[in-house]
Amino acid sequence: MKQPVRGGLKGGRRSVKRGQSVEFADYRDYTLGDDLRQLDWNVYARLEKLFVKLFIEEEDVTITFLLDASPSMAFGRPQKLLFAKRAAAALGYIGLASEDRVVVAALAGRQARRQGGLRGSGRVFRLLANLSSIQPGEGVTDLVAAARHAAAMLRGRGVVVLISDLLDPGADRVIRELASTGSELIVLHTLSPDELDPALEGDLKLVDSETGEGIDVTVDLATLDDYKARLAAWQESFADLAAKRRASYVALSTDVPLADLVFAELRRRRVVG
């Protein structure tokens, strides 16, 4: 028998369970210990064989969007944080339309600033308002501490969507922390085109957006080639870690059109149904 699955974010599902529920699904052979009340005597009268009725029971799924609001997310055109908010809005609407509970939290400083849960497509404007209120933080963000704080607030199993540039020394620990909660983790690793393919040349001073510290560098073609190789290896390390933790990892550029993100890229990766 096939498992019934609702459209929506991966993880938002209905499960087939024995017992009273909302919708008949299928039959299976009776085995000792099954609830006799679920035997279908009409089928028995025709086939002289005992079958148990299976039902679809709706699971209460909570989808939690964790948006990295560290200063580095203010970089890019469009801003990485703006892209994150748009992605969360699109995916959050899918969740609301599927009657899942949607929660938004901003990761800034050492905390997760959580907003109230929403349910139903009629709450989409409240979702947009909640996302609009998230602004880039100031100073250094401890993403590990903020993720740990978010993990402590999760209620039961659900789906956690982390949208971050992962520009934190402990980003691998963030993935481990969130994957250990028992929720299904989806990591949307968001970088700008200028970070993925920088058009830099000559003697430059690069400044850390959080600490304000600068470093003098000379950029040439060899430097850029080395940077891109290290970037690819860095992304691959997160993909490997996510796979080991049974999480989904998607590397994204902020220049990806929203429709392509939801209906092509994330569907291809089986993040949305």
**CATH assignment of the domain containing 98:** 3.40.50.410
pLDDT band at 15 (very low <50, low <70, confident <90, very high): very low
pLDDT digits (tens, 9 = 90+) for 31-51: 666 666 667 777 667 776 776
Query: Which has the higher per-residue pLDDT, 140 or 51?
Result: 140
Terminal C-alpha separation, the chain: 19
Q: What average pLDDT score do residues 131-139 get?
A: 90
Same domain, 76 and 139: yes
Please tell me what DSSP assigns to residue 135.
-
Same domain, 134 and 252: yes
- Segment among 42-56, 141-155, 226-240, 243-257 with least mean pLDDT: 42-56
CA distances from 132 to 67, 161, 253 (A): 12, 17, 21
Quick check: 134 pLDDT over 80?
yes
Quick check: 17 pLDDT over 70?
no
Same domain, 86 and 141: yes
75, 83 Cβ separation under 8 angstroms: no
Give the percent of the chain with pLDDT over 70: 77
Average pLDDT, the chain: 82
Q: What average pLDDT score do residues 100-114 get?
A: 93
Beta-strand relationship, 214-219 and 111-114: unpaired
Number of compact structural domains in the chain: 2
Same domain, 80 and 136: yes
**Do the domain assignments include residue 68?**
yes
- Domain span at residue 39 reads 14-58
Same domain, 130 and 143: yes
Q: Buried b vs exposed e over 108-141: b needs ≥16 C-beta within 10 Å?
A: bbebbbbbeebeeeebbeebbebbeebebbeeeb
- At 3 the pLDDT is 35
pLDDT digits (tens, 9 = 90+) for 145-159: 999 999 998 877 799
Same domain, 30 and 87: no
Same domain, 66 and 186: yes
**Do the domain assignments include residue 43?**
yes
Residue with tokens 């992962």: 166
Same domain, 52 and 169: no
Quick check: 94 pLDDT over 70?
yes
**Do the domain assignments include residue 217?**
no
pLDDT band at 262 (very low <50, low <70, confident <90, very high): confident
Range list of H helices, the chain: 41-47, 80-97, 124-132, 143-153, 171-179, 193-196, 221-244, 258-260, 266-268
pLDDT band at 205 (very low <50, low <70, confident <90, very high): confident
**Do the domain assignments include residue 204?**
no
CA distance 143 to 171: 7
- At 202 the pLDDT is 77
Query: Residue 220 region, left (φ>0) first, then alpha (ψ -120 to 50), else beta?
Result: beta
Same domain, 40 and 71: no
Quick check: 200 pLDDT over 60?
yes
Given 41, 58, 75, the domain boundary residue is 58
What the block records as the tokens of 215 is: 């470093």
pLDDT band at 191 (very low <50, low <70, confident <90, very high): very high
Residue with tokens 């100073």: 139
